[in-house]
Chain A
C-alpha cells in the first residue's frame, strides 16, 4: 500500500492547498484516493473470516463505523457519485453489473448449504471460501463491484445466529438495492446528509431477513425479465403488502417481509428515491 513513514492526513488534506489550484486538485484527489482505498480495505476486512472461530465483534463494529464515516463524507462531498460510476466500469452498464452479481449469487448457491451460509454471513466462514468468492467477483465484475458485494455483508457481521439461511433471491434483492443506492441521485438527496448513508443503511436493513423460503431459479429470472417497473416498489416488497395484483415472483419476495418492520427501511424518504433509482436501472435492463 502506501510506503511506510508517509504521513497521511485524512482530515486536513484539503487545508494544505496552496495558491495553485492544480496543486489543490492534486491534493484533493490524492485524499480521495486514500479515502477510497481506506474504504476498500475496510470492506475487505469485514469480509475476511477467521477459520471456524467467531470474529471479534468489537473489531467489526469499529470497522463498520469507519466505513459508515467514509460513506457519509463521500456522500457529503458528492464523490459517492463518482464511486457509482466506477462501479459501472468503462463500457459496463449498470445492468451488466447487476446481472454479474446475480451470477455471483447463483454460483454461490450451488455450494453445499453450510458453505453458502458462511460465505454470506462472514462469521465462521473459511478463508478458502472467501478466496473463491473473490475469484468469482473478479471473473464477472470489476474490483470495485466486489467491494459493493462486500458492503452487502456488513450488516450480517453481527449475528450469524439470527440468519437461518440466506437465499439467492435475497442476495438479488440486496444487490439490486445496493445498485439503486449507488446511483447518481444519491448525492442530491437532502435527506442523505442528515441520516446514515443510504447504502450502509440499506445494507444493514437487508439483513433483518429471517426464515425466508427458498426461491427457485425461474422466479429469479422472472424477476429480472419483467417489464413492469411497478414490481419494484420497494415498500411493497419490504412490507409484504401488495398494492396491486403482482405476478408470481413477488410472493417469494413478500415472504421476506415480516422481518422488515424496521422503520429505517420502510418509512424514510430515501426508500422512495431508491425506488426511482431502481426503476431507472430496470429501465436500462429492459431497454425500454
Chain B
C-alpha cells in the first residue's frame, strides 16, 4: 500500500481550509474553514465493479457551523474558524459530527430527505389553507419522492467550558463521551449533556508567570475508552488512564525522547513542540508531528520513539528565518493510512510527504494545479539542500513558505487521500492498474 500513482481532483475553496476529516466509512469527507463553514463531500464511485474504478467526491452539504463572536468581558473577538471536525460512528440513517472553534463545540446532525408528504386535507400543496367549507372528502396524506435534500441541524451546543483556545476534540470509543482540549485544560463531555463537563487535565499553574508549557493536542485511544493522550509544547506526550483518578494530572506514562545535544540551539524547544498526535488504527502505536519530523511511538516504550522520519530536514539550517517569519510555529498535522503501514504529513511549497513504514520508503509529492493534471500520475519531488542542484530538484531557497499543507486526511479503507492547500482541496486516488 504505497501510493505511487494517483489521479486527482482539485476544487477551489471559498476560504482557507482549517480542518479535513473522513468519516468512519470514508464515504463522507468534511472540511472546515476559516469562515466557520463546514463543507461535506460525498464519495461517488463509477465502475466500482471493474478493476479500474474511480471515486469522485462531490459536495453533499454546506452549512455555517460557527459565527464570529465577541467576548465583551475581554474585549476580544472569538474567531469562527473551525479548528477541528470529528465524526461520530454512524448509528442510524443520519450522520453526526462535532465541529469546534476556539471556544464552542457543536454537534451537528446531517440527514437526508428524499420524500415529502403530499395530500393534506386542510392545506393546499403550496401551503395555503383550504376553506374548510369546501372540503367534502378525506384522504390520507402519502409520501412522495422528491429531490434529495441534505439538511444539517445543530443538535447540541457545548459552550463556556474553555478559557483558552480549543485545539482538539476526540470522540471516545464508548460513543457516549468525548474530550475537548485547550492550551491548559482538557474536559470530558457526555454527548447528551451540554451544561456540564468534567475537567480531567489541568496544567494551569497557580502563578501564570510560571507557565512554560501548554497542551497542543489530545486524543482518545481508539479501543480503550479509559485511555487518552495529550501532547505538549515541550515535546512530551502523556498517556492518562481515567480509571486512576478523576483528575488525570498525573500521567500513567510519559513519552519523551532525550534531546540530541549536538543539535541544540535556541530553537530546540520550539521545534520539539508537538503539533499533532494520532493513535494508529490498531491502537498499538501513536504518531507525533513536531516541526521537522514525524515520530512513531510504541505505547509500551516511553523513553524513545520506535521510528523517526525527517519531513524536511533541509529546514534545520533555516530556523532563524523561519522564526522571523513565524513559520516555525506552523502546526502540521499527520495521519495514518487504513492499515497503519503508511503515514502522511504536509510541508511547504505545497509539498506533502508519504512515509512508508513497512517498505522504508518515502516520497515527496506536490499538490498544485501545475503539477496535477486529472488522471495523471504525480511526480515525486526532491529538494536540494545545498551544493549542486540536480535537474528537477528545487532548492531550499526557492521554496514558497506561504504555500503550506497543514491538513491532510486518509480514507480509512481505501488509498484515497485529501490534501488541503491554502486555496484548494485536492483529492488523490491511487491508480490501480
A residues contacting B by CB (< 8 A) are 1-2, 4-5, 7-11, 34-35, 38, 41, 45, 51-54, 56-59, 61-62, 64-66, 69-70, 114, 118, 123-124, 155, 158-162, 204-205, 207-208, 262, 264
Q: Is the CB of B269 within 8 A of A2?
A: no
Beyond A8-B320, A208-B207, A262-B209, whether A57 also contacts B265 by CB under 8 A is no
- Residues of A near B321 (CB, < 8 A) are 1-2, 4
- Residues of B near A118 (CB, < 8 A) are 75
Q: Is B79 an interface residue (CB 8 A)?
A: yes
Q: Is the CB of B209 within 8 A of A208?
A: yes
Closest to B182 in A: A57
A114-B165 Cα distance, complex, nearest whole Å: 23
Closest to A35 in B: B266
Count of A-B residue pairs with CB < 8 Å: 107
A41-B326 Cα distance, complex, nearest whole Å: 11
Question: What's the nearest-Cβ distance from chain B to residue A128, in Å?
Answer: 16
Q: Is the CB of A124 within 8 A of B75?
A: yes
The total of chain B residues at the interface (CB under 8 A) is 41
Q: Is the CB of B324 within 8 A of A62?
A: no
- Residues of B near A4 (CB, < 8 A) are 318, 321, 397
Beyond A9-B265, A56-B329, whether A38 also contacts B320 by CB under 8 A is yes
Q: Is the CB of B183 within 8 A of A124?
A: no
A62 in complex: contacting residue of B163, B207, B208, B329, CB < 8 Å = B329
Q: Is the CB of A66 within 8 A of B213?
A: no
Question: What's the nearest-Cβ distance from chain A to residue B400, in Å?
Answer: 13
Q: Is B92 an interface residue (CB 8 A)?
A: no
A8-B75 Cα distance, complex, nearest whole Å: 41
Q: Is the CB of B266 within 8 A of A70?
A: yes
B329 in complex: contacting residue of A9, A59, A207, CB < 8 Å = A59
Closest to A204 in B: B209
A51-B76 Cα distance, complex, nearest whole Å: 9
- Residues of A near B102 (CB, < 8 A) are 54
Q: Is the CB of B266 within 8 A of A69?
A: yes
Question: What's the nearest-Cβ distance from chain B to residue A197, in Å?
Answer: 13
Q: Is the CB of A54 within 8 A of B165?
A: yes
Beyond A54-B74, A160-B74, whether A1 also contacts B324 by CB under 8 A is yes
Q: Is the CB of B233 within 8 A of A61?
A: yes
Closest to A53 in B: B77
- Residues of A near B329 (CB, < 8 A) are 56, 58-59, 62
